[in-house]
Every structure is written in C-alpha cells, then in structure tokens.
Amino acid sequence: MKIIIAEAGKVGASLTKQLSSEGYDITLIDFNSSVLEKLEESFDVMTVQGNCATMDTLQQAGVKDAKLLIATADADELNLLCCMTAHGMNPKLHTIARIRNPEYTNQSKIKIL
C-alpha cells in the first residue's frame, strides 16, 4: 500500500520508521532536504522536498496513486489544508491529520490523530 507522510518531524520520522519496516511503500514530504536525505538513507522510502499543502508537491509525491496520507506537521492548519487538498486530488484517498487544537475537532471529515 502506498502511504504519503507529510512532514518529517518526530511524529513523521517515527511513522516512517515503523511503516517502512512493515513493508509499506512510503513517500515522505518535507521542506528540509537534509532531514529527507537522512531518512532516505536510513529507510527504504521515497522523498519529495516541498510544501505538503500544494498540489504540485502532492502530485510529485504520487497522491493520485496513494491509499493513505498522514499529515504530521506542527501546524494544525497546514495538516488540515494538506489533507483537504490531497483528498480533492484523490477522492478515494484516506487522510489523517495531526491536530492538537480542540477547536478543530469537528472540522470536515478528517480523522483527528
């Protein structure tokens, strides 16, 4: 199964490690090229440098062929926008957004992590 992980902070890196060890096809998106290089060398993953909420970056990551996208950035709004944009590009895509602010709990059809 193809999974996109948006942002490679502590949560994103941990998910990358766990899911890649389980044999999933992982594509990791992040702004920081050095973080991506380190994770690409450590795990069997593809990487895309860029803004995870833009259509261009999501297209480069293969969102149209993905089954799941997990947005793990520190900013709730970035995670929500990433998931909504990705779902707009691939309506069959399952999305999970990391949300910390309880004000967003009832937003859209996005699963709260």
**Both tokens assigned to 83:** 């998931």
Global pTM reads 0.91
Residues 6+ apart with CB under 8 A from 34: none
Which residue shows structure tokens 């261009």?
56
Spatial distance between the Cα atoms of 90 and 102, rounded to a whole number of angstroms? 27
Model confidence pLDDT, tens digit, residues 97-112:
998 888 876 665 555 4
Spatial distance between the Cα atoms of 14 and 24, rounded to a whole number of angstroms? 14
Considering only CA atoms, which of 80, 6, 76, 103 is closest in space to residue 48? 6
Name which residue leads in pLDDT, 22 or 111: 22
What is the pLDDT, as a whole number, of residue 107?
A: 62
Spatial distance between the Cα atoms of 20 and 78, rounded to a whole number of angstroms? 24
